[in-house]
Structures are given as C-alpha cells and as structure tokens.
Structure 1
Amino acid sequence: MANIKIPTSFNIDLEFETANIFQRLMGWLIDGFIKVLYITVLGYTVNNLQLGEVASYVIYFFLGVLPMVCYFPVLEIIMNGQTPGKLLMNIRVRNMQGGQPSMSQHLIRWLFRIIETPYIIINGLIPLIAMLRSPYYQRLGDVVAGTIVVSTKTKASLSGTIFRDMSAVDYTPRFPQILRLSDRDMNKIKNLMDQAVKSNNPELTARVAYRVRDVLEIQTDMMPGEFLETILNDYNYYTTR
C-alpha cells in the first residue's frame, strides 16, 4: 500500500492509506457477484410471471439494464464514495483534497469505466496497467476525474484536527466573523477544546468560548461547547468554498 499526504487549508497534512490492487479487485468482484445475483433473481421472477415478450423486455430494461449500468455512480453518490463491495473492503472514493467527490467527478469515473470494463480481457488490462503505473493505484478514470480510492482506516484522525468535510452536508454558516482568525488560531482553539473534554473541565470550554466571542465581537446565546463546534464548522465552510 502507498500513503498519500493531502494538504489542507489549515497547514495540516492529512495522511491517507491508498487502496491497493487486491482491495479494489475484491471490491469489484463483490459488486459483480451482487449484480449477477440481482439479474438472476430478476430473470427468474420475470419468467415465472409469464408476461408477454414486449412487457418482459420493458421490465428487463428498466429493472435490469438501467440499474446495472448506473450501479457504480448511483451507489457511490448515495453511499458517500462506496458501494457494497467497497464497504466490505473498507475502501472509499475521495477527491484529491480528501473530501467527497463532486457529481461531475463521479460521472467522469463512470464514463471512463465504459472503456475500462473488465468484461473484455483486453479492456480489462487498461485499469490494471493504469493502477500498476500509478503510485496511488489510480485507474484511468481516477486520474482524469481527480479522485483516489483510499482505506477508510486513515493514518490521521480527522477528529483530531480542525478539518471538517462540509461538502457532504447542507450547511448554513452562522458567524462570518470567523474568517478574521487564522488556521493557527483555530488549531489553538481545537487543542483547548480537546483538553477541556479530556480533563472534564467545562470552565475551560466556557473561557475559550468567551474569549472568541469577545475578540470577534459575537453576540450569541449558544452554549460554549456548541458555539465552539459551530465556529469550527463555519471556518471549514468558508475556507473550503
């Protein structure tokens, strides 16, 4: 496996372990088994219904062909970069900043999957060669889309930094004044928050929250812990847009 360090806007490098060829192949085989099982059950069901030829073709198209064609992009969007196969192999699709891929990135990966399809032996060599040539085991679709498949067991714990992936939520920021602080300031605030939690010291949390409100001239009735979490989320939202 290879590790990739992804710089953030907070002067923190998040280290991810990339998925190797075995993990990606096994994930694909699991997804392939699920697809074959689904088609087998669908075919058995339609045959038992004894429908007409036209009706059977319509059902096969809408309940068979379309789900199979859209299997990867739809599930990876719904499951935040995963399919059942990727989930079982503990891997996930991410963008090169470590966040959730955009809709266009998912679609680009899907379009390139058409020419990389392993159903034909020759075409199956394309993703294999691309992954062997890539230091991060990226297939051609990943390279073009700007995505990477990583292990869900990251080397760096996101909860230990001020990084928050706000791309996956419909978030509305509360305090634009937070941009007056630097990433160094935010890291100090996060470290003090962690110390307060570990030592079970709500007074420290309250003092930090009061100091931030005083410096930024913020008026709010939010509880200290809630307020500090909100400004961390706000900072991530503004600096990653």
Structure 2
Amino acid sequence: MANIKIPTSFNIELEFETANMFQRFGAWLIDTLIRVVYIIILSYTVRNLQLEEVASYVVYLFLGALPFAFYFLVLEIIMNGYTPGKYMLSIKVRNMQGGQPSTSQHLIRWLFRMLEAPYFFWNGIIPIVSMVRSPYDQRLGDVVAGTIVVSTKTKASLSETIFRDMSAIDYTPHFPQILKLSDRDMNKIKNLMDQAVKSNNPELTARVAYRVKDVLEIQTDMLPAEFLETILNDYNYYTTR
C-alpha cells in the first residue's frame, strides 16, 4: 500500500491509504462471483419458464448480458464509488482531489476495464503492470480517468476539515460575502463549531454565528448551527470553481 496526500484549496493535505493489488483483485472476485451467481439463477429461471427461443434471447439480453456488462459502471455511480465487493473490502473509487468521481470519469474507467479484465492471461497483465509501475497502485483506467482507489479506513477524514465535496450536488450558495474570509478564518470557524458540538455548548455556536454575521454584515433568520454549516458550504462552492 501507498499513502497519497491530496492538497485541498484550503491549505490542508488529506492523507489516504491506497488500495493494493490484492484488495482490488479480491473485490473484483467478489463482484464477479455475484454476477456469475446472478446469471446462473437467471438461466435456471428462464429454463423453468420454458419460453420460446426468441423470448429467451430477449430475456438473456436485457436481464443477463446488459446487467453483467454494466455492473461496475452503474453500481460505482449509484453507490458513490463502491461496488458490493469494494464495500466488503473497505475500498472505494475517488477522484485525485479526494472527492466523488464524475460520471465521465466512471465511464472512462469502465471502458478501460474491458481491456484490463483478467478473463485472459494477456488482459490480466495490463492492470498488474500498471499498478506495479504506478506510485498509487492505479490501473490504466484510473490513470486515464484521473481516479484512484483508496481504503475507506483513511488517516484523515473530510469531516474533520472545512472541505465539502460540492461537485456531486446541485448547490445554490446563499452568502457571496463569505469570500471576504480566508482559509485560516474558515478553519477557525470550523474548529469552534467542532468544539461547540463536543462540549454541547450551543451558546458558543451562537456567539460564533453572531460574530460572522457582524463581520460580513449578513442578516438571516437561519439558526446559528444551520448558518455556520451554510457558510462552510458556500465557501467550498465559491473557492472550488
């Protein structure tokens, strides 16, 4: 395994542990077993239904071949970088900034998977060589797509920083005045928020929120905790675009 330090736009480095070759191959085996078992069950069901030949081909195409082929692409998108195999081995796909990959990145990984899937010896050599040569255990599809597979048991958590991955949601910012503050200011606010939560001190949250409103000349009816979370999201939205 290797560790990768990903810089954010807030002068904070997030350290992740990359998934090694054996973890990734183990996850692939689990996912392949799931797909094979599904096809076996489907075949058994179709035979028992005694469908006509054309109807059987249609069922195998739409309920068998397509789910088998698009398994990784669809699940990694809807499960935010996981597949059942990856989830069981505590690894997931991220982009090189530590956030959720885009749909196009998932698509590129999936297209290259067809070249790298170890169904034949020469196919299996491609990802092995790529991961051995990559400092972050990336297969060829990861290198091209700009993604990486990391352990979810990371040394740094995004929730411990002011970083929020706003790329995955359709977010509308509320307070453009937030850009008057610096990274250092936002980190201080986040630290005070965490301190207030740990000590169950809503008065501290209220004082921080009042101070931010006063400095930025903001008037809002939001509750203090909601307001502070909103300005963190707004800051991420503006500074990552």
1:37 corresponds to which residue? 37
Q: How many positions carry a matched residue from both structures?
A: 241
> Which amino acid counterpart does residue 160 of structure 2 have in structure 1?
G
Q: Which residue of 2 aligns with 1:18?
A: 18
Q: How does 1:186-197 map to 2 (within 5 A)?
A: 186-197=186-197
Shift of 1:171: 2.2
1:216 Cα deviation from its structure 2 partner? 1.0
For 2:117 and 2:42, the matched residues in 1 are separated by: 23
Aligned to 2:49: 49
Alignment partner of 2:62: what SS?
Answer: helix
The CA distance in 2 between the partners of 1:45 and 1:193, in whole Å, is: 56
Instruction: Quote the sequence identity (%).
Output: 80
Q: Normalising by structure 1, report the TM-score.
A: 0.97
Equivalent-residue separation in structure 2 for 1:59 and 1:97 (angstroms): 41
Residue aligned with 2:82, SS: coil
- In structure 1, the partner of 2:148 is 148
Determine the C-alpha separation between the residues in 1 that align with 2:35 and 2:83: 12
TM-score, with structure 2 as normaliser: 0.97
Quote the residue 2:81 is aligned against.
81
2:160 is aligned with 1:160:
yes
Query: Can you list the C-alpha shifts for 1:74-106, whole angstroms capped at 9, x where unaligned?
Result: 000000001000000100000000000011100
Q: Which amino acid aligns with 1:144?
A: V
1:114 match: 114
Residue equivalent to 1:91: 91
Which amino acid in the other structure matches residue 145 of structure 2?
A: A
Aligned match of 2:136:
136
The aligned counterpart of 2:2 is 2
What is the letter of the counterpart of residue 10 of structure 2?
F
5 Å-filtered alignment, 1:158-237, equals 158-237=158-237
- RMSD of aligned Cα (Å): 1.0
Give, in whole Å, the separation in 2 of the partners of 1:201 and 1:3.
Answer: 36
Report the counterpart of residue 101 of structure 2 in structure 1. Answer: 101
Give the deviation of 1:232 after TM superposition.
Answer: 0.6
Deviating 4+ runs (over 4 angstroms): none
Residue 43 of structure 2 aligns to a residue whose secondary structure is helix
Which residue of structure 2 aligns with residue 123 of structure 1?
123
Taking the aligned partners of 2:170 and 2:107, their CA distance within structure 1 comes to: 21
Gap regions ≥5 residues in structure 1: none
CA shift at 1:206, angstroms? 1.1
